[in-house]
């Protein structure tokens, strides 16, 4: 959007960015978002950190880990774990975004991409909070129903859990689609080429994870007393 002839485009509000990302994830949308005057690495990392904090404080995994900490180290340690975990989650999320975007940008260049790395970091970071919030709400949906033993073991509760899991999968599949569109728009490449690049990153990550799972236990055993 041009405010005057030759002027820079008007900045989108955060709500407008999230609305467009959720409801109209097209190449045109992400050209607008990536062309925003505030489209830089700093804001991408900021919103990736915010998304990780939403997941940390409201997602189900923290309660599981807190229980482990309480059982082994007591309630006081759990308080430290809450805030140290929040800091660690933010740092890991920001670092992960930088690495993912760097690999994707490099792969996109190999396949003819012509985008800018800071804009890719921004686009991928800024779209995360609404999707993470949606996934948290979907994950908490079963907790809205009675928690009695009879209900938990009833067929109705199994249907609710199944519906919640299905919605959770849909949210993250939709996020994957939006990320492909964002990648394709920023790197100025076709949708299917962007899909292939993102799929290639997933394959590389799976191979690396498999290698580490085989190598790390042996290394830890070598250093064990």
Task: Report the pLDDT value the prediction gives residue 49, as an integer from 0 to 100.
Answer: 95
Q: Is residue 2 assigned to a domain?
A: no
104 in any annotated domain:
yes
Is residue 6 one of the residues assigned to a domain?
no
Number of domains in the chain: 1
pLDDT at 82: 77
- What is the pLDDT, as a whole number, of residue 224? 43
Residue 216 has pLDDT above 60, yes or no: no
Alpha-carbon separation of residue 158 from 50, 136, 166 (angstroms): 32, 19, 12
pLDDT tens for residues 189-202? 999 999 999 999 88
Helix (H) or strand (E) holding 54: helix 41-58
The token duo for 46 is 């900021």
| Helix and strand numbers, DSSP H then E, in the chain | 10, 0
Pairwise CA distance, residues 119 & 44, whole Å: 8
Looking at residue 21, its pLDDT comes to 93
Per the structure, the complete domain to which residue 144 belongs is given by 14-223
Asked if the structure places residue 121 within a domain, the reply is yes
pLDDT tens per residue across span 66-97: 666 676 666 667 677 778 888 988 999 999 99
User: In Å, what is the CA distance from 25 to each residue of 71, 101, 154, 210?
Assistant: 45, 19, 39, 33
Rounded to whole angstroms, what are the CA distances from 86 to 30, 61, 170?
Answer: 30, 12, 27
Q: What percent of the chain has pLDDT over 70?
A: 80
- The answer as to whether 9 is a domain residue is no
Q: Is residue 4 part of a domain?
A: no
**Are 133 and 114 in contact, with CB atoms under 8 Å apart?**
no
Q: Which two tokens stand for residue 152?
A: 């938990």
Pick the residue with more confidence: 103 or 155?
A: 103
- 49 in Cβ contact with 86 (< 8 Å): no
Average confidence score pLDDT of the chain: 84
Phi, psi of 114 (to 5 degrees): -140, 40
Which residues fall within 8 angstroms of residue 220, CB to CB, at 6 or more apart? none
**96 part of a folded domain:** yes
For residue 8, being part of any structural domain is answered with: no
CA dihedral 116, 102, 203, 53 (to 10 degrees): -100
Report the alpha-carbon distance of residue 129 to residue 54 in Å, rounded: 8
Mean pLDDT of 44-72: 81
């Amino acid at each position: 959007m041009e405010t005057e002839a030759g002027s820079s485009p008007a900045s989108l509000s955060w709500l407008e960015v999230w609305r467009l990302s959720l409801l109209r994830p097209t190449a045109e949308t992400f050209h607008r978002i990536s062309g925003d005057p505030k489209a830089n690495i700093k804001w991408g990392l900021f919103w990736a950190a915010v998304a990780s904090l939403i997941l940390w404080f409201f997602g189900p995994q923290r309660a599981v880990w807190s229980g482990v900490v309480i059982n082994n180290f007591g309630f006081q340690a759990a308080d430290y774990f809450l805030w140290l975990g929040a800091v660690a989650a933010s740092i890991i999320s920001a670092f992960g975004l930088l690495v993912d975007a760097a690999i994707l940008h490099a792969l996109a260049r190999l396949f003819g991409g012509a985008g800018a790395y800071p804009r890719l970091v921004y686009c991928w970071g800024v779209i995360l909070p609404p999707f993470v919030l949606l996934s948290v709400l979907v994950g908490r949906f079963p907790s809205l129903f009675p928690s009695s033993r009879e209900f938990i073991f009833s067929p109705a509760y199994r249907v609710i859990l199944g519906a919640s899991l299905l919605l959770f999968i849909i949210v993250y599949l939709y996020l994957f689609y939006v990320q492909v569109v964002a990648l394709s728009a920023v790197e100025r490449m076709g949708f299917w080429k962007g899909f292939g690049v993102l799929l290639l990153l997933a394959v590389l990550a799976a191979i690396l994870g498999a290698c580490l799972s085989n190598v790390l236990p042996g290394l830890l055993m070598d250093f064990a007393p």
